Structure 1
């Protein structure tokens, strides 16, 4: 109900008006603007039904501590004031019930006192007895306890406020005086403080003393020497700076980033897949690569559903990730996770409303208990792996919106940032090879403790996510419809399915090709297509060698070729008529033989080495010896450990990326990785460490070198003309007669000449 008595204040559309007079017989009220004194006649019905009309707390608040402010609470008091408040409440409870605790079933020592016994005294008698008791207190002690001026009416007022507001109602309003600001700071000094703050935002960090000198300089140059006398003390300026701009403990680069203007809009997340946050960090566990068996660090990329806190995807990459790794991670989010060997029935698809056998029929395999969906919005930081044309095109193909976080503001994706810390404490700290938070907390030799390969580490993380993380109770995250309930990522996803349903869309295997980088080229009638300075060819191009593409638009008359940067041994061509995908082999590969995989970085290195050596190849077959040399074909077994760390890392990275590319392909391609043959067990101090695959890889390279040499020798012999058979012994003597005499006339003519 509005109080429209003269002197009352009402707030109308955000402006405060004071009631000057009210004429209820005419249904009118005269309002005066509190800021400029402007008068306005208003109708009582309009004020009663206006949606933005309310009573001002400045005149209607029943407590002085709440006028024009928020209602006070006990946490606003200091520790000493809370002790005094507790003492006042004990006195009031003793007056009301005869017991200081207020509970007759739990009396204190000597309770109830005869003068406070509710069975023989009235409430008025107990109040007068309390006044007499407080009067007998020492004056200094009573002043310290805030009980020196307590009378009969004070007890009544305290009790009424306690019943209405609780214990805080007994607090003295003088304890919660309003903050009046800094009265000694005038408009000129205020302008100088804000000007100096804006200047310091783009400077290197300076001390408060330097800021004070800049404030004095600004006031002196802008308002004259006389105005400097109104500048308050250093302590006042320091306090005002802290109140207006914070403690100033942040780093300058982060402070400048936070000061940038934003749209002011917020994303309200209420369904799975609405926002998926991606981030990459170095996994704090050393693992062993499977080529040389060296301990290495790998990068862990997580995909977190912000609504349910489900870890819907992850990737382990050696050295660093690339755009193709992130593209395949987004593809993993849209596909159901297959059950792995060793996983029990408790890790199968658990969500009610959609039976596991139905999902398995659509997917073609048993599905693990991990949500899958098409992400609507992807939030990432500004790393180079996320900001490139390829990944933007991938997100367009998947139908995702891109919502980048602000620069240097990790709080915009704090959910995935916090997930890294949770995985560290719940899983990584239990594994051998854990490196700690930083170098100071690192163990004596975590590299020697490493006993997991990259494949085993990936299996451990996948098992832990499905079995532990998805069923783990969330500590601080809860939905708005049940903020006090116990929830896990799986329970939140099941609740979302019950509320809004679940669109089970499993992408086709051809999605792999659509997410690869695209190249628009023409088909050479003899050499095929040129991708990344290498030529690729296959039988699928025979029908289109002599005719341009029928495509229009920007890439008119050019064919679309897809390539996987992780494996440059082949590219992929889609038949324009049947829309089937075909693999095109590199023309430098030996026919019928297999070589280890190599990526785009190895191609650039091969071309650079060929150019430096003065080689001008006519065909790609002439580049194969250079490639095999880079792959380590001529490195003897004794020199494997003496290879530089960077060289071993490059070889291992090519092998890991090739295996990842082979695992992501929907079907087996003609160019495939060579699986290692089982080797005999060897005695080792660490039996759990996997056997290095470098011997088998070296044998594969040697076999490729031998095959290439045989092919070259055969081609050279075919190009040479056939040699005639050698003459028989005495053939020259059989051609003429040794006893035949020459013609005399011919001999004489020869002598005359």
Structure 2
């Protein structure tokens, strides 16, 4: 008895070995006339005797040993290669065999309409009956119909019988069989019913290009209507190709075409959203990871969405500058200032990061680090400052990520980072995803904290309530204290979805919990700041010490301690012998001079005339007022008189701008600077006996003109 491969119509002995394999490597699964399965020889397997293409040549597989493959080239040269290297070769292919059939796209099949899928399955049953003799719905042990019996009729006859049965041509049946062999059930689906169309339809390619160009130009312009866009597109097409050259669709089709091409651009929506969408990175967004505290700290500044009350009663917004640790999501430090953050504020942020947050009067005892889940005792052994610290980690950054703001690229901030051994990494221009974590933290602060405050403005004008400034009640120092307390009681103990325990990935961790787990593996490095370190973080100016003292921006500073250094060379040749002078832009009443013997504090010579703290922007505003009054704005005595009038009477006068400047000055000075960390070798001293306060006597502001008139 002989059997036949009913695909290639060859004959061979069908009784010697079952499961039977076709010597011509037929890839179809056949059925033995007696019910035995017929296995296909060719599968996803490499066997000895196969010819392959490798290393720009044909090779014969001689033997397989473990993960090694012995090859023999056509010239007779033998070689041994690893199977992993062979399979990964770009030109590797098994020749002389038919390709493996593709897997069916199950997802696409699930989206087909039921009638389309039913028709495809009917054709599958017909194709299987032609190939195997039995349809897919045949029960086990069923016999094929006489005209489809593989033992009696070859493949060509069975295909012709199926064509006669369905009333189609033989070519149609053969095409269905071929497509089923390549794509499975998906190859039998009527592709006309699942064909995808271009979103632009049959519109002219030149018109589509013009629409895309005009849509790109709308990114940074004010939002308009579709009719305006259509007019601009028509003008652009006529200028480029000439009038009447490019066919234009009807008005309704034009609208549909614009809607299809502007999808996701927000061309006719919010201008802010449109610019943000256009600013997204072209490539895939890669999140930032860090394995230890301080590995990367992101710093940024933004106006806070809340109105604050300055000392004069004027309301204004405050700038919030924060530093966020990537590994633990800890807000290492947060500094609030009146709008107009300076480089010294960024340096102050670094100083606050490197010292523990002290407990303040009125705070709950539960906010102490000793009452938290952080390893307080172990940290106390490494750093004595943790004795009275609040429950917030002290993280020493290795790298800080900043943007291109003038505050962060200033010489003051970069010099402070260099002194503290911190690497600075600058984000790419207009790429907020480079510091996405600190950007997202601002949004979280607005959602979890700011929106619950009186005087909340909303994130934009469209979300702002009516007369919000009348509801403002918090001053900047009060809001700073409230923010610090919320960061301890809310943010640091709140579970974050991005912080996960590797052993319990379904459970979110809080920043304090994440820090406690990472500090055990990475250790803790205390960095003790001395009292002079705050002076090092202040802006620097190089000046000469003359007979009259030091002059900065038409202000003169002098004291007896400068006498040995007058008209002397500082020894710094690179600065032409000038002396290093540090100043606080929020308190210009004194400067600090570095000398070989240490720091010298030099007060302003006109300080008795003003006798009130003032900032750099206050001094510049006073100079403008002096110039408007016809006075010499380079004469510090005249400017000092204007400054005294500004600080004492501006809030009562009609000049709102002067009132805001004066109020910002007092508010900036009201925010206390962080206390320097004590020396490690400093011992605790007994507290002095507290004496009852003496009766305070108020002194008025010295006015030379009024004093002269009184004596006259």
Determine which of 585, 599, 605 is the counterpart of 1:565.
Answer: 585
Q: Is the 8 A contact 1:517 1:564 kept in 2?
A: yes
Determine which of 488, 495, 511 is the counterpart of 1:466.
Answer: 488
CA distance in 2, matches of 1:59, 1:307: 53
Deviations 1:98-149 (A, max 9, x none): xxxxxxxxxxxxxxxxxxxxxxxxxx98999xxxxxxxxxxxxxxxxxxxx9
Q: Is the 8 A contact 1:588 1:622 kept in 2?
A: no
Could you say which residue in structure 2 is the equivalent of 1:648? Answer: 659
Q: Is the 8 A contact 2:374 2:391 kept in 1?
A: no
Please say if 1:28 is aligned against 2:71. yes
Give 1:41 shift.
Answer: 8.6
Give 1:374 shift.
Answer: 2.7
Could you say which residue in structure 1 is the equivalent of 2:702? Answer: 705
Give 1:628 shift.
Answer: 1.0
Could you say which residue in structure 1 is the equivalent of 2:607? Answer: 589
CA distance in 2, matches of 1:437, 1:463: 23
Please say if 1:603 is aligned against 2:619. yes
* Worse-superposed segment, 477-486 or 320-329: 477-486
Could you say which residue in structure 1 is the equivalent of 2:5? Answer: none
In structure 2, the CA distance between the partners of 1:642 and 1:606, relative to structure 1 (3 Å rule), is closer
Could you say which residue in structure 2 is the equivalent of 1:406? Answer: 428
CA distance in 1, matches of 2:393, 2:98: 56
Q: Is the 8 A contact 2:586 2:616 kept in 1?
A: yes
Deviations 1:549-580 (A, max 9, x none): 12232x13111000111111111112313x3x
Deviations 1:469-515 (A, max 9, x none): 11111124447776433211111111211221121223223221111
CA distance in 2, matches of 1:618, 1:200: 53
Please say if 1:382 is aligned against 2:404. yes
Could you say which residue in structure 2 is the equivalent of 1:279? Answer: 300
Could you say which residue in structure 1 is the equivalent of 2:81? Answer: 45
Deviations 1:293-312 (A, max 9, x none): 34432222222112211111
Matched residues, number: 566
In structure 2, the CA distance between the partners of 1:306 and 1:575, relative to structure 1 (3 Å rule), is same
Determine which structure has the larger strand proportion and give its number.
Answer: 2
Q: Is the 8 A contact 2:51 2:61 kept in 1?
A: no
Can you give the 5+ residue segments of structure 1 that lack an aligned partner in the other structure? 32-38, 67-71, 89-123, 129-148, 150-168, 668-677, 679-695, 718-753
Give 1:336 shift.
Answer: 1.3
Determine which of 348, 360, 372 is the counterpart of 1:340.
Answer: 360
In structure 2, the CA distance between the partners of 1:180 and 1:191, relative to structure 1 (3 Å rule), is farther
Please say if 1:556 is aligned against 2:595. no
Could you say which residue in structure 2 is the equivalent of 1:328? Answer: 348
Q: Is the 8 A contact 2:374 2:513 kept in 1?
A: no
Could you say which residue in structure 2 is the equivalent of 1:65? Answer: 104
CA distance in 2, matches of 1:361, 1:84: 72
Q: Is the 8 A contact 1:242 1:248 kept in 2?
A: no
Determine which of 597, 619, 632 is the counterpart of 2:648.
Answer: 632
TM-score of the superposed pair, with normalisation by structure 2? 0.64
After TM superposition, list the pairs within 5 Å mapping 1:88-103 onto structure 2.
none
Could you say which residue in structure 2 is the equivalent of 1:315? Answer: 335
In structure 2, the CA distance between the partners of 1:343 and 1:6, relative to structure 1 (3 Å rule), is same
Deviations 1:315-367 (A, max 9, x none): 11123322221221122112211111233343222465552772696328611
Q: Is the 8 A contact 2:554 2:634 kept in 1?
A: no
Determine which of 57, 62, 78 is the counterpart of 2:111.
Answer: 78
Could you say which residue in structure 1 is the equivalent of 2:673? Answer: 663
Determine which of 408, 418, 433 is the counterpart of 1:396.
Answer: 418
Give 1:314 shift.
Answer: 0.9
Give 1:441 shift.
Answer: 3.7
SS in 1 for 2:104: helix
Q: Is the 8 A contact 1:275 1:378 kept in 2?
A: yes
Q: Is the 8 A contact 1:257 1:407 kept in 2?
A: no
Q: Is the 8 A contact 1:521 1:529 kept in 2?
A: yes
CA distance in 1, matches of 2:472, 2:286: 47
Q: Is the 8 A contact 1:519 1:561 kept in 2?
A: yes
TM-score of the superposed pair, with normalisation by structure 1? 0.61
Please say if 1:503 is aligned against 2:515. no
Deviations 1:604-631 (A, max 9, x none): 2333444555555997455432221222
Structure with max Cα Rg: 1
In structure 2, the CA distance between the partners of 1:706 and 1:126, relative to structure 1 (3 Å rule), is farther
After TM superposition, list the pairs within 5 Å mapping 1:141-540 onto structure 2.
247-249=264-266, 268-289=289-310, 291-349=311-369, 350=372, 352-353=374-375, 355=377, 358=380, 362-363=384-385, 366-478=388-500, 483-525=505-547, 527-540=548-561
